[in-house]
Structure 1
């Protein structure tokens, strides 16, 4: 008898068309306001400052686009010509790659292939310096089994390659999309932040959702009335990938005030997966931020909780900003740590040798994204799309959204010039 009851309950959960399941959804979840018309007029009355800032940011993107495209092409070509990307003599070249990635056993830092004795001495000096800082002990000897400390450096080296291969287009709004604008994208993501908070989804789900949206829009033109459908569908896919217990399809229909039927969401789900070739394992800003924050926490003596909340706040601010697609996720994560340390510990230098070693970014390379991030943070209070600001002004997050810095972060870059050509960011 108990077995039959159990089987019936499981069938009821699996049957999305069951009326009782829909009623349960309605009782368990609180109804939120449906996303309104995602047009420029929908936020014109109270977002004039945001619209002006967006126009300025689009102009800045167009000014730096040619410079960044050249660096991106150079980086991609170098990756394609690397031993890992060539099919001929595969086994021999992969062995050489693994030898270069393994590098120094003490600090888990990759050494270039064919390194000589002088290079090994330099690497040993870096290891000794990092050991002196106490960073290696805290990062490489973590007791967390999910940290994968023995081969974490290999994972992040691979992620740096994948983020180039799987990144969305940086100008799909101008070249492909005819019916939507960056403002509409910002409205959608601002609403999705509230949805993820309502359903208590983990942050990785939100980041993957935005990544799926941008990659889909980079390859397929979509009409305005289907933009919200795309948003909830991508969150459904991301939830299935990241969450232990993903919300039902009916819950995503319910959150849109049943604007879309279950069949429409499932049809869009198949379209999204086919366009993306089922490539869901992609590194996001959160992927790199988790590692970089760990390094930053190992080298600071103050409370690490506030640093973690502040970095999460700054990183989520970038999700709704279309202009930040020109920066790689790893560069955004490094810039977030840079600015967060500056806000909390100014006027001390926010970047050190340990962070430079683990992120592979120096301070001059982060100048452009850090300054863009500071402008975004300062404008977040006056912008009508402030779901992230309202979320992180709560006491449970330490009210980090209300923290103020008395000095501009520009002073942290004395006598430094932009170095975009040396590395794709």
Structure 2
């Protein structure tokens, strides 16, 4: 071969090698494209070296696969093409700035290429890519709507959402949540609504005395259930009404009254120290324990006082926050009984009663019935409360009142107290009838017997309770008497 021809071949090989080396490996910017065009570089403007439509499809269109020809051309290219695709394949701002991005891209390609065909292809590819991406977005929305519909099917019906036509939650409108209450507050509102419905069904004049849900000491939520329960349990564990006649031989009803009158006296601060002042519940429970024990146990009159102080010791341990010491009860008997005797009697009483000390007394019902009587008053009437308590305590002295249930005695005390304070109107109303479960006619016998105690028609000399309620701190209710007999109420 001639030397010139071999040299010509070597030059061609060098040119081809040089062309391969100088092939750009990065994205062409506007300034770089202009510089290459003016300097007559390897990319003349009259003959572009790459097809923008295929390259753009490879970079932008993630939804559609490339055609077989594009796949073949990509496979034929060098490793530089794979690197370029790996860098540019993740394009996230196509739909946000589609017009601006594709417009600038078209301007760059227009300046770079002289012919008019590439911009048309670019515009077509841009519109296709945007349409495809919008199609992908619609598919994503549909899938999201399906997932939301599945989630809503599993949710409770209290929570609902305003949905748009496509099934997606409408964010412009707030979600509507049912106003049904939850938790403890919801339970309180449901109980109050049920009680109000019950009261409305019984009559519009019945006042709801359990509407105060804020005071925990009132126990408004549980009060109806509590008093319904004790109305049943008051029939159990009642003392015998005839034990004096059938069992006891040494003691009489008058001796029993003297014992209780003495217990009322010693429970006052003048006898027991101020620190150990006993609450009224202790007195009521003491009398209940005495009568229950005497109903089945014979007691000589010499040990009747021992039984009284022992039952008061037991009741104070049950009712009082700080119960008096055993020595205090020995002291109030003037040490007639020793400490060992009191402890022995305490064990005997508790074992006989099987430690069943939680029993409803007249005081248990009296609080509820006084609250019902005060419902019509805007301000609580202290005279009504003290007078009802005074009349109820008078019944403790009388053995004959054992035949009346505690709830009946409490209702009668309220009835007579209202009549004593005001004889111009009937003392019974629908609210009291609802909460006591007694009609006025059912109280007649008990009220008349209680009026005899109030007026002391029998001339009883037991004055501990009367002296107690003649004090100014109790509004001197023991001195109040009605001007008209209560019998006239039942004849109306």
**Normalised by the size of structure 2, how large is the TM-score?**
0.58
Tell me, yes or no, if structure 1 residue 144 matches structure 2 residue 221.
no
Higher relative contact order (CA 8 A, sep 6+): 1
Aligned to 2:289: 212
* 1:288-307 correspondence to structure 2 within 5 Å: 288-301=365-378, 303-307=380-384
Check the 8 A contact 2:311/2:346 in 1, yes or no. yes
Provide the rounded CA distance (Å) in 2 between the counterparts of 1:222 and 1:347: 49
CA shift digits 1:333-378 (9 cap, x unpaired): 0000000000011121000000000000000000000000000111
Segments of structure 2 that go 5 or more residues without pairing to the other structure are 1-189
Provide the rounded CA distance (Å) in 1 between the counterparts of 2:473 and 2:279: 16
Provide the rounded CA distance (Å) in 2 between the counterparts of 1:127 and 1:353: 8
Tell me, yes or no, if structure 1 residue 172 matches structure 2 residue 243.
yes
More helix per residue: 1
Provide the rounded CA distance (Å) in 2 between the counterparts of 1:378 and 1:106: 44
Tell me how far 1:179 sits from its aligned partner.
Answer: 1.1
Q: What SS does the aligned partner of 2:371 have? A: helix
Tell me how far 1:302 sits from its aligned partner.
Answer: 6.2
Check the 8 A contact 1:307/1:341 in 2, yes or no. yes
**In the superposition, relative to structure 1, how do residues 107 and 170 fare at CA in structure 2: closer, same or farther (>3 Å)?**
farther
Tell me, yes or no, if structure 1 residue 364 matches structure 2 residue 441.
yes
* 1:388-407 correspondence to structure 2 within 5 Å: 388-407=465-484
Provide the rounded CA distance (Å) in 2 between the counterparts of 1:185 and 1:251: 22
Tell me how far 1:166 sits from its aligned partner.
Answer: 1.6
**In the superposition, relative to structure 1, how do residues 148 and 251 fare at CA in structure 2: closer, same or farther (>3 Å)?**
same
Provide the rounded CA distance (Å) in 1 between the counterparts of 2:346 and 2:282: 16
Provide the rounded CA distance (Å) in 2 between the counterparts of 1:301 and 1:409: 26
Tell me how far 1:306 sits from its aligned partner.
Answer: 0.8
Provide the rounded CA distance (Å) in 1 between the counterparts of 2:417 and 2:267: 24
Aligned to 1:330: 407
> Which structure has the greater CA radius of gyration?
2
Aligned to 2:323: 246
Segments of structure 1 that go 5 or more residues without pairing to the other structure are 1-102, 110-119, 416-425
Check the 8 A contact 1:168/1:325 in 2, yes or no. yes
Q: What SS does the aligned partner of 2:416 have? A: helix
Aligned to 1:386: 463
Check the 8 A contact 2:210/2:221 in 1, yes or no. no
Aligned to 1:126: 202
CA shift digits 1:48-97 (9 cap, x unpaired): xxxxxxxxxxxxxxxxxxxxxxxxxxxxxxxxxxxxxxxxxxxxxxxxxx
Bigger CA drift: 193-202 or 356-365?
193-202
- The correspondence for 2:347, drawn from 252, 262, 270, is 270
Tell me how far 1:178 sits from its aligned partner.
Answer: 1.2
CA shift digits 1:304-344 (9 cap, x unpaired): 11111101100110001100000000000000000000001
Check the 8 A contact 1:219/1:275 in 2, yes or no. no
CA shift digits 1:102-129 (9 cap, x unpaired): x9864649xxxxxxxxxx9x86432543
Tell me how far 1:300 sits from its aligned partner.
Answer: 2.9
Q: What SS does the aligned partner of 1:187 have? A: helix
Aligned to 2:488: 411
Provide the rounded CA distance (Å) in 2 between the counterparts of 1:185 and 1:106: 48
Provide the rounded CA distance (Å) in 2 between the counterparts of 1:313 and 1:189: 15
Check the 8 A contact 2:192/2:211 in 1, yes or no. no
Tell me how far 1:382 sits from its aligned partner.
Answer: 3.9
Q: What SS does the aligned partner of 1:164 have? A: coil
**In the superposition, relative to structure 1, how do residues 333 and 291 fare at CA in structure 2: closer, same or farther (>3 Å)?**
same
Aligned to 1:203: 280
Check the 8 A contact 1:163/1:329 in 2, yes or no. yes
Tell me how far 1:404 sits from its aligned partner.
Answer: 1.9
Tell me how far 1:146 sits from its aligned partner.
Answer: 2.0
Tell me how far 1:381 sits from its aligned partner.
Answer: 9.4
Task: Tell me how many residue pairs correspond in the alignment.
Answer: 297
**In the superposition, relative to structure 1, how do residues 305 and 214 fare at CA in structure 2: closer, same or farther (>3 Å)?**
same
* 1:56-135 correspondence to structure 2 within 5 Å: 106=193, 108=195, 124-126=200-202, 128-130=204-206, 135=207
**In the superposition, relative to structure 1, how do residues 123 and 397 fare at CA in structure 2: closer, same or farther (>3 Å)?**
closer
Check the 8 A contact 1:139/1:295 in 2, yes or no. no
Tell me how far 1:191 sits from its aligned partner.
Answer: 0.3
Provide the rounded CA distance (Å) in 2 between the counterparts of 1:153 and 1:303: 21
Tell me how far 1:264 sits from its aligned partner.
Answer: 0.3
CA RMSD of aligned residues (A): 1.9
Q: What SS does the aligned partner of 2:283 have? A: helix
Provide the rounded CA distance (Å) in 2 between the counterparts of 1:104 and 1:393: 42
Provide the rounded CA distance (Å) in 1 between the counterparts of 2:416 and 2:193: 30
Q: What SS does the aligned partner of 1:169 have? A: coil
**In the superposition, relative to structure 1, how do residues 197 and 145 fare at CA in structure 2: closer, same or farther (>3 Å)?**
same
Q: What SS does the aligned partner of 1:140 have? A: coil
Q: Which runs of 4+ in 1 moved over 4 A?
A: none
Q: What SS does the aligned partner of 1:190 have? A: helix
**In the superposition, relative to structure 1, how do residues 108 and 282 fare at CA in structure 2: closer, same or farther (>3 Å)?**
farther
Check the 8 A contact 2:411/2:436 in 1, yes or no. yes
Q: What SS does the aligned partner of 1:297 have? A: helix
Tell me how far 1:289 sits from its aligned partner.
Answer: 0.1
